């Protein structure tokens, strides 16, 4: 089973920025990483007028695009898939990092930026929280707090807890 961790935090706290620092460090160490972004508002992956958009508008339940280097598939859904249903389709990676899923049961790395956070609470219960990345120094029992720029230190913890089993 591929380990899954969730990077959570208040809106505009820097989740995407942090993930984009962690991925190259994980790659440098030889790990292949998949990401899953949770978007509560919905999304559209293709542009109006393009072939895949036209296929979906014509009623295709599944639309895919393939090239020599990439493959993407979008399914129209009647309900939101669980994280497990989505990640069961991911293959050939060592780690899955989600952005969001703050109320899920996966281990969490919370991004806490003093100017955007109301308080550290998204990763409740504390048992799911394995680290915090912050621009504000504070202590939290049993959880290591990293500077937002410390990708190496954060990856050290990810590697030890989730990849060296």
Which residues are CB-neighbours of 90 under 8 A, at least 6 positions away? 2, 34, 96
Greatest mean pLDDT among 15-29, 45-59, 112-126: 15-29
- Domain range enclosing 158: 4-42+79-163
Domain with 158 in it: what CATH number? 3.40.50.300
- 129 domain-assigned: yes
Task: Note the Cα 22 to chain centre separation in Å.
Answer: 11
Residue 43: its pLDDT value, please?
Answer: 60
What distance lies between CA 133 and its chain's CA centroid? Answer: 15
146 falls within a domain:
yes
Q: How many domains does the chain have?
A: 1
Q: Over 90: is that where the pLDDT of 146 sits?
A: yes
Does the pTM surpass 0.95? The reply is no
What is the per-residue pLDDT across 12-36, written as a single tens digit (0 to 9) for each? Answer: 899 999 999 999 999 999 999 999 8
């Amino acid at each position: 089973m591929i380990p899954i961790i969730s990077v959570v935090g208040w809106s505009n706290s820097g989740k995407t920025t942090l993930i984009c620092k962690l991925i190259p460090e994980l790659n440098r160490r030889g790990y292949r990483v998949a990401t899953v972004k949770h978007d509560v508002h919905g999304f559209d992956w293709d542009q109006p007028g393009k072939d895949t958009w036209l296929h979906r508008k014509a009623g295709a339940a599944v639309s895919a695009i393939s090239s020599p280097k990439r493959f993407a598939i979008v399914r129209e859904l009647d309900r939101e898939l669980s994280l497990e249903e989505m990640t069961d389709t991911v293959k050939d990676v060592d780690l899955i990092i989600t952005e969001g899923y703050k109320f899920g049961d996966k281990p969490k790395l919370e991004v806490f930026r003093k100017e955007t956070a109301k308080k550290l609470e998204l990763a409740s219960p504390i048992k799911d929280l394995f680290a915090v990345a912050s621009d504000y120094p504070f202590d939290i029992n049993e959880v290591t707090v990293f500077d937002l720029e410390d990708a190496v230190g954060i990856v050290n913890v990810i590697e030890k807890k989730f990849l060296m089993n």
